[in-house]
């Protein structure tokens, strides 16, 4: 049976009862969060960054456990919007719990109050370069890196990779051309064989229709095979063509 697939994050507009659980799958994978719905065939679980669907057929066992998501919500509810230190601590805690989405949310609160807070900036992926906060990718560009096939690297390596890719493409083109030429050659040979076979067939048909075969009328007595060479003569005679023309 195929695996349960991640469902696209769904938005539940209606409040649902939540249960904090760890859902263990056969083989060791695990989902931690809040079960929002459970049927005989499927569990829907809020993992704090969307809802995922888990096929019951894959579930090994479920352990009731307090969810860090609940703890996050309780802690966040106690923080005022200007409590930078509180949000910073919460962001740090959520990160240590593996709740990346909650950690980001908390650190974004910090930036509202303290836009240049180093911990929050770094946690949100910003890099301090030349005294200015910028995104990781902006910092790569600023450092002179280039993106080649989705990977950041030095221009020299990108150039080399490009040259290698072109050389590989040229090699593949050469191989393809050689294969095509070989195919064309084989087709020519097949065509030549077909023509030859056709010619043989036509020749045999021609012989087959010779009057001599039909009784020897009209070609004179000298053309008749002697009794002594009859069998040899027959062996040299083209075989009777089949009813089909040669391919």
Partner 1 sequence: MSRGRKALRAFLMIPLALAFVAVVLASQPPATLTVDDIVARHVAACGGLEKIRSIESLRETGRISAGADRKALVTRELKRPNRTRFEFTVQGVTGVFVTDGERGWKMSPFDGNTDPTPLSDEVVREAAEQGDLEGPLVDWKAKGHQVELVGREKLGEREAYKLKLTLKSGAVRYEYLDVKTFYLLRTESMREMRGRAVQIQANFSNYSKTRGVLFPRKIELAAAGRPQHLLVVLDKIEINPPLSDALFEMPDSVTP
Residues that bind partner 1 (CB under 8 A): 2-6, 25-33, 47-49, 52, 54-55, 58, 68-69, 95-96, 98-101, 103-104, 123-126, 136, 139-140, 143, 145, 149, 151-154, 156-157, 161, 164
69 versus 90: smaller Cβ distance to partner 1? 69
Minimum Å distance from CB 235 to partner 1?
A: 60
83 versus 157: smaller Cβ distance to partner 1? 157
Minimum Å distance from CB 68 to partner 1?
A: 8
Minimum Å distance from CB 81 to partner 1?
A: 22
Q: Nearest Cα to 16, choosing from 33, 35, 31, 32?
A: 35
32 versus 84: smaller Cβ distance to partner 1? 32
Minimum Å distance from CB 146 to partner 1?
A: 11
Contact 48, 104 (CB under 8 A): no
Rg (CA), the chain: 41
Minimum Å distance from CB 21 to partner 1?
A: 11
21 versus 84: smaller Cβ distance to partner 1? 21
Contact 45, 59 (CB under 8 A): no
**Can you tell me the distance from the alpha carbon of 148 to that of 150, in angstroms, rounded to the nearest whole number?**
5
**Strand runs labelled E in 67-197:** 126-129, 132-135, 146-148, 151-153
113 versus 153: smaller Cβ distance to partner 1? 153
Distances 51 to 7, 15, 98, 206, 212 between C-alpha atoms, Å:
7, 14, 17, 81, 91
Name 151's bridge partners.
148
Minimum Å distance from CB 173 to partner 1?
A: 17
**Can you tell me the distance from the alpha carbon of 54 to that of 59, in angstroms, rounded to the nearest whole number?**
8
**Can you tell me the distance from the alpha carbon of 197 to that of 181, in angstroms, rounded to the nearest whole number?**
24
32 versus 44: smaller Cβ distance to partner 1? 32
């Amino acid at each position: 049976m195929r695996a349960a697939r991640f469902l696209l994050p769904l938005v539940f507009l209606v409040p649902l009862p939540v249960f904090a659980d760890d859902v263990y799958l056969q083989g060791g994978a695990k989902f931690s969060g809040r079960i929002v719905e459970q049927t005989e065939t499927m569990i829907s679980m809020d993992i704090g960054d969307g809802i995922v669907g888990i096929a019951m057929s894959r579930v090994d066992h479920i352990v009731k456990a307090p969810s860090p998501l609940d703890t996050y919500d309780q802690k966040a509810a106690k923080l005022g919007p200007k409590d930078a230190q509180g949000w910073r601590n919460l962001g740090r805690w959520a990160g240590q719990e593996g709740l990346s989405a909650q950690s980001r949310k908390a650190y974004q609160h910090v930036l509202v109050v303290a836009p240049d807070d180093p911990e929050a900036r770094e946690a949100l992926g910003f890099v301090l370069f030349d005294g200015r906060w910028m995104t990781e990718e902006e910092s790569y560009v600023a450092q002179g890196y280039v993106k080649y096939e989705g990977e950041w690297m030095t221009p020299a390596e990108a150039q080399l990779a490009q040259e290698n890719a072109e050389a590989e493409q040229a090699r593949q083109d050469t191989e393809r051309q050689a294969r095509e030429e070989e195919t064309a050659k084989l087709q020519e040979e097949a065509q030549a064989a077909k023509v030859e076979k056709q010619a043989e067939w036509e020749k045999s048909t021609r012989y087959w229709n010779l009057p001599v075969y039909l009784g020897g009328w009209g070609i004179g007595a000298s053309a008749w095979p002697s009794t002594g060479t009859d069998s040899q003569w027959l062996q040299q005679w083209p075989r009777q063509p089949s009813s089909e023309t040669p391919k």
